[in-house]
């Protein structure tokens, strides 16, 4: 059995496969490499004494790798980043380490235990029929009825076609600690919908590092149909 195992290990190494050994032993006992495992991974006398301390580091590294696989990075949202009028890339935003807060309350149905959805319907007072959503809106202006279609109204509410827009550059010395008003968000390029975003983002980031500057961008956020313009660096 030992000879067969050693031969299979040698065949695996000939194929370019590496065998990693994690020596685990009780606290009061030392793992004996000379019994079988030294021949399995091809270690000599001095190499065995040096392998045991390095194996502990490998075990700790494996634990960190498993933790990273379990706690996957979850992107918050995907944004479009307009560098110029003709160049637009796609970036993903990720939340950094921050304290955990209590989530929002989700109301569930008492019978099916499914999340409840809020729906609104208009009923005619005369016939009791369900009214369809009007396709035309209107606004009184100077004693005149101005009509809007649903599409035109959505175009009026849409402030910009991009979430982020590059507006300029400043030296890094202008960035102060008190400028951080909210938890930071990590930005990483994505080629999922706009191919070449990573290449453009890396070129922009490398140029800023070389020149010691930072980019100033404008972000548009809509809250309760009100428009707010935030300038973030």
Q: What is the pLDDT of residue 220?
A: 63
Residue-level pLDDT at 226: 31
- pTM greater than the 0.85 cutoff: no
pLDDT at 108: 92
> Distance (Å, rounded) from C-alpha 233 to C-alpha 225?
25
Going by C-alpha positions, the residue among 126, 150, 146, 127 that lies closest to residue 138 is 146
The predicted pLDDT at position 147 comes to 83
Residue 66 and residue 79 in one domain = no
pLDDT confidence of residue 199: 94
Place of tokens 């890396």: 202
Q: Are residues 155 and 139 part of one domain?
A: yes
Number of domains in the chain: 2
pLDDT of 228: 32
Using DSSP's 3-state secondary structure scheme, residue 98 falls into coil
Tell whether 124 and 201 lie within a shared domain.
yes
Same-domain status, 37 and 136: no
Residues 22 and 90 in one domain: no
The pLDDT, as a whole number, for residue 177 is 84
CA 67 to the chain's CA centroid: 17
The reply to whether 159 and 210 lie within a common domain is: yes
80 and 148 fall within a common domain: yes
Query: Given 3-state DSSP classes, what are the helix, strand and coil percentages for the chain, each rounded to the nearest 5?
Result: 30, 30, 40
Residues 91 and 203 in one domain: yes
Please identify, among 55, 70, 85, the residue that sits at the C-terminal boundary of a domain: 70
> What gap in Å lies between CA 43 and CA 49, rounded to an integer?
10
What pLDDT sits at residue 170?
92
Dihedrals φ, ψ of 175, to 5°?
Answer: -85, 120
Residues 121, 124, 127, 128, Cα dihedral to 10°:
30
pLDDT at position 227 is 31
Q: Which two tokens stand for residue 151?
A: 């599409």
DSSP string, 1-21: -HHHHHHHHHHHHHTT-----
- Asked whether residue 127 falls in the same domain as residue 205, the answer is yes
Same domain, 63 and 109: no
For the domain that residue 113 is a member of, what is the CATH number?
Answer: 2.40.290.10
Whether residue 135 sits in one domain with residue 152: yes
User: Domain limits at 7?
Assistant: 2-70
Q: What is the widest separation between alpha-carbon atoms in the chain? A: 99
From first to last of its 233 residues, what are the pLDDT tens digits of the chain? 777 877 887 787 788 777 777 776 677 777 676 666 777 777 766 666 666 666 667 777 777 777 777 666 677 888 899 998 889 999 998 887 777 677 788 899 888 899 998 888 888 888 888 887 766 777 888 888 888 787 887 777 766 666 888 999 999 999 888 888 777 888 899 998 899 999 999 999 999 999 999 999 887 654 333 333 333 43
- Tokens 């490998």 locate to 58
Q: Are 232 and 179 in contact (CB under 8 A)?
A: no
Domain end position, chosen among 24, 53, 70: 70
Which of 185, 7, 19, 180 has the alpha carbon at shortest distance from 94? 185
Are 40 and 109 contained in the same domain? no
Which residues does residue 210 pair with via DSSP β-bridges, in sequence order?
none
């Amino acid at each position: 059995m030992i000879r067969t195992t050693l031969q299979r290990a040698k065949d695996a190494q000939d194929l370019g496969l590496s065998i990693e050994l994690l020596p685990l032993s009780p606290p009061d006992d030392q793992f004996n490499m000379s019994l079988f495992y030294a021949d399995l991974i091809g270690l000599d006398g001095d190499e065995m004494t040096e392998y045991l301390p390095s194996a502990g580091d490998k075990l700790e590294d494996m634990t960190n790798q498993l933790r990273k696989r379990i706690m996957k990075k979850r992107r918050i949202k995907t944004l479009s980043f307009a560098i110029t009028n003709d160049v637009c890339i796609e970036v993903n935003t990720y939340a950094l380490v921050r304290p955990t807060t209590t989530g929002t309350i989700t109301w569930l149905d008492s019978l099916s235990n499914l999340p409840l959805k809020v729906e609104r319907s208009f009923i005619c007072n005369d016939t009791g029929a369900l009214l369809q959503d009007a396709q035309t809106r209107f606004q009184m202006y100077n004693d005149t009825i101005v009509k809007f279609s649903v599409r035109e109204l959505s175009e009026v509410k849409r402030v910009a076609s991009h979430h982020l827009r590059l507006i300029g550059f400043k030296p890094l010395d202008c960035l102060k600690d008190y400028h951080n008003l909210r938890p930071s968000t990590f930005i990483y390029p994505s080629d999922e919908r706009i191919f070449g975003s990573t290449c453009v983002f890396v070129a922009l980031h490398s140029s800023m590092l070389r020149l010691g500057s930072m980019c100033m961008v404008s972000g548009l956020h809509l809250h309760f149909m009100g428009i707010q313009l935030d300038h973030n660096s």
